[in-house]
Structure 1
């Protein structure tokens, strides 16, 4: 008779789960997380949650292992379990009760960064703690040095108010003093209050839906299915890693600066080792931690970013043929090395508020490192650098700030068999675009221009994607802050593809008082009529441009994605511009002369 097995850290017996039930429960885990996200962004007041869906949700077992996560921002969803570890670093399980609700945002105890506030509700079944329902989102202002943004904070205490595993509710009763303290120490109390209530409602939805599964299938079946899905993800990832060529692969890139020492680049060094069915990502050689808010929390940001890009490269649903959940099993064949004290594993109390460009560029660098190992799975250099803008001003009538946060879309590099995608957020960001109507309806702003960046795409057998241009004018006096990068580096082309174009950022473009802005600034004064124009990167091309189908080059010219000069010099395609047709014979001769 075989010895009984138990779910880790519990007295719940692990039992066999038939394949049909396993699939049903796998879908249910995923659906619960997605529903939590839906509840949040349909209830939220702030545009960064309601429109951009800058949030993440999941169900986590009592040992902080993530059962499922929502498909919103990977940086939010991937940190849900790490925040539970943060809760458990301050509270013993015996002191966690039914009816408790935690609020948490400490970047050295699992949070992605301080603005990402997580609400955590413990799930009890028959008076026993079995799991947690948790959801986090980017909250408009959490007491940063400037409204909604921090670049130059000298430490984590200066960057924002820290909520370290605080009980906002205890035994079902709200702590009114804590609630008032939280809202008194931000610039947007009305918006924050609504968002916190929406977060609580979303987490409660997850709790209720998970208990419905327990009631229907029983503890043993549900948690045994969890273990089976962990094992499945591990097994499939190991098999896919085994298909890649063993070796040590290296790539490096540079960030513009740390926001204080402008123009002094920060190195990202990435060594990826594939050996058998395991993979190691080593960040040794990357820049040291800095005395600004540009450090990256290890558990809350570095680890989720690497997990996400590895999942995307090896387990992409389109290529793999089926959905493989991103859960605790993903981490078993994956090893991450980030020396303590480097940019991606800073020492407390280094500030971490402005960490997003670093992790997005890290994901891009990992992909570049693995290009030779898995050329059909990667993209050329992407617009890894986003611009997170905070437009704001003081509303005298409401006696609080209005604040509008926006993440500028970018583009993907060319991919094997496909051109890069235009005007989309990419890599580990995954936020949605902000419609013009949303901006102009709710805030004293006017969008003068919003569209494809006017410069052509980077040539390649598969061209790079094109970024956006967006110009925003203030209709009343206010302030603007920006967390950006990518002004000093162009997205790389691969396998002979051309490099893309870097970002640009200008105040009052085309006016007498035009000013070229750096990629990062905490808060500048904006008068009514002043405007900000951003152009996000055009990404790199994939493959030799001489191998691009001539008809695709003609199509690019007709669409405005390529110029006549590129057709002649980069693609060597001869076009009859009177009739807008390709001269195939002349093209073949010209290309032959360039080979």
Structure 2
């Protein structure tokens, strides 16, 4: 490298890398064919140096891809060593045990050459609408029912497409134009990264990316280690019991031990449930991503992610468990497990970080529904919709309403879904009294109601669907937990024509059928009886809390059409409640 890297230049170039991948992500969205990429933003674009070290990833990304991409990159380089690669090569796989944990995500990597020398790699991961097999469902009994598995192969070789592989994909997926269109969008994203990296290297007269990579990964690692040193050493434990899904009859257990040892952290999932017959098992690379994400957002959230952030984190899990299942275990709905890992870590580390850990979120895990059918004019559709519950409260503020966590995807607009499918929304609104009460209340949940069009816009045949709601329920083993005396979030129902629906199973929807989804609020933080009475009144006036909820949860009595606070009655009510709680505690 011809130029020295002073702090100012380092910051400029670090931001330049992020701007390159963000530009590529924009190109990916604008050239994609499916709502999964265009509206849902379930993707990631990354830059690696020639040694396979991750330097940056797109700002909009699913956290489950962050720590998994380096693992995939290592496998790519083992199968296709650097010296065997040529300009225009593209390597691809969707192997769940190498990449993102289920077959629907395709990971593609391309080498970056400059004047004949390989200087880095670009990686693009996209969740595709379909990969064949059984339509998305937790009913799969093994991976082979879930679609086409693509081992590590060259999708392009020296710029020429692998027509055999593309033909196999085309023959095995539903709506192949959209799937292949999104693959082409991944190619476009990688091309943008290649052009951007080449331009940057030439502009600053570098030989390669290695000195820059060493500098930014060292700085990121130093920051993470410094934050870990600030925590008290020790082993912190937690256990989360997830309700049974599908044909399962027993709860699933996530057991975690987090060891803080000076500048490093070891996360061990020993004791977690063995892998199950439902398609919710998690592979270790995917579990590692959400574990690293959970540690990162608690300990050092502001430094951009790269290989340096990941170095101090070690993740262990017993083989054959729901955290690290063995092939060919079914994994389609692995988010049921993986999305709960950050909150399992939050619960473990809360004693080591008093006042710094948020309450549980009502949107965990992902609530996603898949639909395949035909519109009234015969046009086929394959679509996904997702809605979120409330965010957990923190020690200094209320939780946000209907915000996703931890998967970081976008809300697909109602108008997009209605244009793309034969579904018609009836209602989508905040649900009062769903937020967990606390000094700072949780984010509010929502009620979503939609139906299959009937009459002149009725589909010509039933719509195949996979319906999945939230397991969060204050009466179950798995509520949206409060923190430091805060209450759990409320809500969590899924019905079809008024009848409860099994989670994640395949359903046939007919014209006029109505689905109702109630998503819970986030957990509250702190004693609800210490919440500012004016804040409670404001929530009542906004329709987020009912008057009955204000009295029952917060000890605030409101009177008249203007919801005037009866301060004397409120003071008496709160004092009485506090005394009763103290008596019960003793």
Report what 1:313 is aligned to.
298
- Cα 1:231–1:516 shift into 2, 3 Å: same
Given the alignment of the two structures, is residue 250 of structure 1 paired with residue 234 of structure 2, yes or no? no
What does residue range 136-285 of structure 1 map to in structure 2 within 5 Å?
Answer: 136-146=125-135, 149-220=136-207, 222-261=209-248, 263-285=249-271
Given the alignment of the two structures, is residue 70 of structure 1 paired with residue 58 of structure 2, yes or no? yes
Alignment check: 8 A CA contact 1:144 1:150 kept: no
What does residue range 28-43 of structure 1 map to in structure 2 within 5 Å?
Answer: 28-43=16-31
Offset at residue 56 of structure 1 (A): 0.7
**SS state of the match for residue 118, structure 1?**
strand
Offset at residue 544 of structure 1 (A): 0.4
Report what 1:18 is aligned to.
6
Offset at residue 450 of structure 1 (A): 1.3
Q: CA–CA distance in 2 between the matches of 1:305 and 1:117?
A: 18
- Cα 1:456–1:175 shift into 2, 3 Å: closer
Given the alignment of the two structures, is residue 364 of structure 1 paired with residue 343 of structure 2, yes or no? yes
Report what 1:555 is aligned to.
538
**SS state of the match for residue 291, structure 2?**
helix
Alignment check: 8 A CA contact 2:279 2:331 kept: yes
**SS state of the match for residue 378, structure 1?**
coil
Q: Deviations for 1:314-335, whole angstroms, at most 9, x for unmatched residues?
A: 2233xxxxxx111111122212
Q: Deviations for 1:534-593, whole angstroms, at most 9, x for unmatched residues?
A: 122222111001111111111111112222233223312233335422233443343233
**SS state of the match for residue 570, structure 1?**
helix
Q: CA–CA distance in 2 between the matches of 1:219 and 1:373?
A: 44
In angstroms, what is the RMSD of aligned CA positions? 2.1
Q: 1:577 aligns with which of 524, 538, 560?
A: 560
- Cα 1:178–1:496 shift into 2, 3 Å: same
Q: Deviations for 1:47-95, whole angstroms, at most 9, x for unmatched residues?
A: 1110111111101123322110112211234432222223224223333
Moved more, 354-363 or 308-317: 308-317
State the aligned residue count: 565
Q: CA–CA distance in 2 between the matches of 1:366 and 1:447?
A: 37
Alignment check: 8 A CA contact 1:386 1:410 kept: no
Q: CA–CA distance in 2 between the matches of 1:353 and 1:552?
A: 42
Offset at residue 244 of structure 1 (A): 2.2
Q: 1:590 aligns with which of 548, 560, 573?
A: 573
What does residue range 195-594 of structure 1 map to in structure 2 within 5 Å?
Answer: 195-220=182-207, 222-261=209-248, 263-299=249-285, 301-317=286-302, 324-383=303-362, 384-394=364-374, 401-427=380-406, 429-475=407-453, 476=459, 477-486=462-471, 488=476, 489-509=478-498, 515-521=499-505, 523-594=506-577
Offset at residue 186 of structure 1 (A): 0.3
Offset at residue 297 of structure 1 (A): 1.4
Q: CA–CA distance in 2 between the matches of 1:395 and 1:143?
A: 21
Q: CA–CA distance in 1 between the matches of 2:196 and 2:164?
A: 31
Which residues of structure 1 form unaligned runs of 5+?
Answer: 1-12, 318-323, 510-514
Offset at residue 209 of structure 1 (A): 0.6
Report what 1:88 is aligned to.
77
**SS state of the match for residue 371, structure 1?**
helix
Q: CA–CA distance in 1 between the matches of 2:378 and 2:515?
A: 26
- Cα 1:333–1:362 shift into 2, 3 Å: same
Q: Deviations for 1:415-454, whole angstroms, at most 9, x for unmatched residues?
A: 1111111011112x11111111101122222111112134
Q: Deviations for 1:276-322, whole angstroms, at most 9, x for unmatched residues?
A: 222222111111112332111111x11110111111112233xxxxx
- Cα 1:397–1:575 shift into 2, 3 Å: closer
Q: CA–CA distance in 2 between the matches of 1:75 and 1:314?
A: 18
- Cα 1:66–1:440 shift into 2, 3 Å: same
Alignment check: 8 A CA contact 2:390 2:435 kept: no
Given the alignment of the two structures, is residue 105 of structure 1 paired with residue 94 of structure 2, yes or no? yes
Q: CA–CA distance in 1 between the matches of 2:564 and 2:514?
A: 42
Report what 2:583 is aligned to.
none
Alignment check: 8 A CA contact 1:15 1:224 kept: no
Alignment check: 8 A CA contact 2:434 2:489 kept: no
